[in-house]
Chain A
Amino acid sequence: MISAAIFIVLEIAALAMLSRSSSKQNIWLNQLSGSVNAFLWGGGEKIRSHFMLQDQNDELVRINAELQARLQAYENAEEAAQEQAATQSLVGDSRFKYTSATIIKMSRNTAHNYIIINKGWEDGIKEQSGIISDNGVVGIITAVGRHQAYGITMMNNKLRISTKVGREGIDAPLMWDGISPDGAIVDDIPPHYEVAVGDTVRTSGYSSLFPAGIALGTTVESRLVDGSKKQIKVTLFQNFKTLHYVTVVENLEREEIMALEEQGGYQ
């Protein structure tokens, strides 16, 4: 132990003398010292970094969550702007209130397809409001939650919409044909009315759910059913496969209309 101490002392003394007596050795020793220091400090820093990885990971997770929240906020803002833009093109009738919404979920593969949108009663959505888009009617709201609303779509055989067909404006109900996403049938047209292929089918406005004049589709062919009525096949403008933004239309006079219907004895 004493020998080791003496060895270290003597070597240090020799180096000190060497450093003072020769500038070449002095520079070299300084460089050597710098290299040793860099190695030791670098090694220490590496070890410290290794043990700080957990903290760094936690910090990265926190930053990641913060960035995701900010990104979500931007996406929400963009979505709201797109919803608003989609609604602007539909606003026309002052008796109706228009609320933009985004589809959360929509079924397309059953006979009773439904839709869920991202607006609920907190956003002013009410039951028995219509759902429309740029390309026509989408469906009807049947249930409303706080932040979401549920409805049935055109691709549901329970839904019937009052329409006007052709130049003559024949009033008849339209329903889904139950086969294709863009196929519908207008039923109960008196046989003496002539409907040309390519005529536009529009909402009549009689149902109090939808404003009048919303283009739904064009007629494809007509046929006589049971010899007493005509049935017209319609190709809808609505493309349910690409649908993402919708507008909920609420008839502001609906309650008054219903009250009148009640008074008049219509149920």
Chain B
Amino acid sequence: MKQPWLRYLLLLCAQVLLWNFFNFSQFLMIAYLPALVLCLSLRRSSARDMILAFAFGFFCDFFCGAPLGLSSFALVAVAALRRPVIMLVMGSEVFSRGEDVSPYRQGWNKIAVTTIILTLIFLIIYVCIDSAGTRAFWVDLVKVGASLLLSTPISLYIIELLSHKQESKWK
């Protein structure tokens, strides 16, 4: 699939299906939306990233029946922190070379660390706001931990799907 927007749309639909029909436990949620945000092009402005993240979150909330704005709020924060986290983990060379995020260029380790950090940020915000102080702290903690464990490998797989081996070769 050459059209990236179509891939994103399909993945968003998959996320909606996942949240609607695969609720295994209240202690678990599979979220790879941060991975979608991570894979957005680094050559565009961060304002665009945040607007897209807001739209992704709105799409999911709307079709999942979740409180509108919940995913958007968490995902906009992820989009805002994406570049600082990438710079922290991968260094500023990614930006100076004008690369996109790809495991074939930056390596799986760095991609995994970046994914874990961004997913953790998303889950913490999402779970805390979703809880709204009505659940015990340990329940939220378990939910964040379990969701992170399950979401990270899925997110890495999504990242691989969104990356192209041919296009990601060294220039």
Contact = CB atoms under 8 A, between A and B. Distances in A.
A20 interface: yes
Assign chain A's interface to a size class.
20 to 34
A52 interface: no
Interface in B31-69: 45-47, 50-51, 54, 57-58, 67-69
B72 A6 contact: no
Contacts, number: 65
Q: Is the interface of B mostly helix, strand, loop or mixed?
A: helix
Contacts of B57: 14
Given A7-B76, A22-B67, A14 B54 contact: yes
A7 B73 contact: no
B80 A25 contact: no
Contacts of A53: none
Nearest to A18: B69
Contact of B73 (A2, A18, A31): A18
Contact of A27 (B51, B72, B77, B132): B132
Interface residues of B, number: 21
A74 interface: no
A235 to B, nearest CB: 88
A167 interface: no
A11 interface: yes
A9 to B, nearest CB: 9
Given A3-B45, A27-B132, A10 B51 contact: yes
Interface in A7-34: 7, 10-11, 13-22, 24-25, 27-28, 31
Given A3-B50, A25-B70, A11 B76 contact: yes
A7 B78 CA distance: 11
B119 to A, nearest CB: 19
A117 B110 CA distance: 97
A135 B15 CA distance: 108
A37 B160 CA distance: 46
A7 to B, nearest CB: 5
Nearest to B77: A11
B50 A13 contact: no
Contacts of B73: 11, 14-15, 18
Contact of A3 (B46, B67, B68, B69): B46
A16 B80 contact: no
Of A13, A15, A25, A27, which is in contact with the most chain B CB atoms at under 10 Å from its CB?
Answer: A25
Given A14-B70, A14-B73, A14-B76, 14 more contacts: A2-B47, A3-B45, A3-B46, A6-B47, A6-B50, A10-B76, A11-B76, A14-B57, A14-B69, A20-B68, A21-B69, A22-B70, A25-B67, A31-B133
The 7 closest A-B CB pairs, nearest first, are A17-B69, A28-B132, A18-B69, A22-B67, A14-B73, A14-B69, A21-B68
